[in-house]
């Protein structure tokens, strides 16, 4: 059953790949001209990664992977969508930056890669595609060397509890499968991208417990009352690159960030 679910989700991301690559949301033109796709939240956690070996999990079409490569990281990145990985490789050639891109689902990664990295990096809309966070954290630990770090920046589970217009609570804060259909992508509400996919919400306690049980030590935990992406309905831009749900104002968390260490 899970294989069928993951295949359905892979198809949903394949359907998005071309639309996303050409969208104003991702602004590939600015990226190709040298602009980083990374936000201040993750940049503050990353620090100097020059010469570090980086594994970027669930990379989509690779903008963040290549941004870290531009910073001097030796980047390997993977995603379940073969079309997104094709776009990532195309983008790497276009800007002349080296990174190693792999097509695989998250849980199948140990079957295709046998290395360890200084940094395990994953951000924004990633954990919701994985039903089993204990397994997620175990795999992250497997690929993080002793003394290495994990950086996770993710949309807050409170946000995923609401309906599309943020008028009422519709979903569970705790881990429960959600089946969603869409007629357009978050990058462009006028786009015609018809998808059906499965996702799971994960409470903060579930995320942190999974990391701790896998042997990580949480060094930093932060919550933010804005999103760096205008990917939700009913938003307002409070300052450049910072968006809030209008009727929530600054009263709810929208993003959280974790830096964890794999101790000696």
Distance of alpha carbon 116 from alpha carbon 96, whole angstroms: 25
Report the chain's terminal Cα–Cα distance, integer Å.
38
Which CA distances in Å does 85 have to 25, 45, 48, 134, 260?
18, 26, 26, 26, 27
Predicted pLDDT of residue 11: 86
| Number of domains composing the chain | 1
Q: What is the pLDDT of residues 110-134, one digit of tens each?
A: 999 999 999 999 999 999 999 999 9
Distance of alpha carbon 34 from alpha carbon 228, whole angstroms: 19
Q: What is the pLDDT of residues 214-237, one digit of tens each?
A: 999 999 999 999 999 999 999 999
Using DSSP's 3-state secondary structure scheme, residue 231 falls into: coil
Using DSSP's 3-state secondary structure scheme, residue 130 falls into: coil
Using DSSP's 3-state secondary structure scheme, residue 211 falls into: helix
**pTM score of the predicted model:** 0.92
**Portion of the chain with pLDDT greater than 90, in percent:** 80
Q: What is the extent of the structural domain holding 205?
A: 2-261
Which CA distances in Å does 219 have to 9, 116, 261?
32, 20, 7
What average pLDDT does the structure give for the chain? 92
Question: In CATH, what number is assigned to the domain containing residue 239?
Answer: 3.40.50.150
Lowest mean pLDDT segment, chosen from 55-59, 72-76, 98-102, 229-233? 229-233
């Amino acid at each position: 059953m899970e294989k069928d679910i993951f295949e359905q989700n892979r198809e949903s991301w394949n359907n998005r790949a071309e639309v996303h690559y050409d969208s104003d949301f991702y602004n590939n033109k600015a990226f190709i001209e040298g602009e980083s796709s990374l936000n201040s939240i993750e940049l503050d956690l990353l620090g100097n990664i020059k010469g570090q070996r980086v594994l970027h999990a669930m990379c989509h079409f690779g903008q963040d992977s290549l941004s870290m490569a531009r910073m001097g990281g030796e980047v390997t990145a993977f995603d379940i969508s073969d079309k997104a990985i094709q776009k990532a490789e195309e983008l790497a050639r276009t800007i002349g930056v080296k990174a190693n891109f792999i097509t695989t689902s998250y849980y199948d990664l140990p079957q295709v890669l046998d290395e360890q990295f200084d940094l395990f990096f994953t951000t924004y809309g990633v954990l919701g595609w994985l039903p089993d966070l204990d397994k997620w954290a175990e795999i992250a630990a497997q690929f993080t060397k002793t003394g290495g770090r994990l950086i996770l920046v993710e949309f807050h589970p409170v946000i995923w509890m609401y309906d599309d217009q943020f008028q009422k609570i519709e979903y569970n804060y705790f881990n429960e499968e959600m089946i969603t259909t869409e007629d357009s992508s978050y990058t462009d509400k006028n786009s015609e991208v018809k998808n059906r996919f499965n996702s799971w919400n994960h409470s903060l306690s579930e995320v942190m417990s999974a990391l701790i049980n896998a042997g990580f030590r949480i060094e930093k935990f932060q919550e933010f009352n804005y999103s760096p992406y205008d990917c939700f309905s009913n938003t307002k831009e409070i300052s450049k690159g910072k968006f809030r749900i209008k009727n929530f104002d600054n009263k709810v968390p929208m993003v959280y960030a974790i830096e964890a260490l794999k101790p000696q």
